[in-house]
Structure 1
């Protein structure tokens, strides 16, 4: 990476001090990453983000007091918010799903190898999703499993109405995003330029009222339920 580029500023949020210490050691071993603060609960995280203005927040989901889902929603509602990367042990699938729906850009397991955590932070800092391949299947299961039949049907119908308002090309782009394809891969599949893919993606954000590709993918999953 360009050594003249400002380092990615990170806030760590976890109620376990040992987890925070381990993450700090991993992240600050990289020349392009710096930890600017730590918080042990959601309220402290919100205050710290307001004070430090980080680029990325690594957010635990289950904590005493305010949980990570509530804190994520409030942080992402701020003007020019940081990117949020969810930390999980997957004892809380529904909260992870809620955080992603609120706008978090991805999630990593707490026992993820250090190199993969670093890669996830860099991806999220660049505005790209970071969904752990090993855990994506469980996330999809959480999205389509729990909840009453009525709730799932209501979510499906709402998602289908939103997708129906798109152009055919926009729907094709949305479905390709849900498959995890990159802009270059989508361009190849649809025989269009990468610039056109970016234009379609921007239109999706505006028309669907969403902020990132993860939210688009979850909407498509809801529609296909």
Structure 2
């Protein structure tokens, strides 16, 4: 975006853009537009003068079009819409402030304005440019208190590959086993109640834990029991 675009926005909406937002439009709008086209990130910010004007012009002419504050008050004209999700939520800057703060208008919270997360344009740009965070896969474990991997006939990796001991924050030991599909041999052992497949594995008293953070998350959860 160039200076003439900034001038057009200010003239058509009769506003003066705050310095942080003006700088964002000049320095980052084109890059953000490319990211919206080429990445799979969900980016809500508007990047053209046409879109910014279109989303604000009617509302600034008639603030009652969008009730706020428990649906009791009209739209405060100090807020300029700079992004939206198409479902009634908007991202805004405060025209009366010189601080780099982004506000989110949450229509499901009865028209409340809350600090966005990330809280500023600078932080949003950093988040857009950061490598995507790949969430750890959700794993399911069965954990039994006091079971020891030193008893391999019942609990060890030879029977349950990937099993490990977790000591929770209360100092108790738990042996945890990754949940997985059973092999035909394990199913047969379960039916015959052989030691190779402990009967407690299917006992409802055994804790079944879903975790993404591995041992640390298991320690936190088990320590709360």
Using the size of structure 1 for normalisation, the TM-score is: 0.23
Structure with greater contact order relative to length (CA < 8 Å, sep ≥ 6): 1
Higher Cα Rg, which structure: 2
Structure that is richer in strand per residue: 2
| Structure with the higher helix share, 1 or 2 | 1
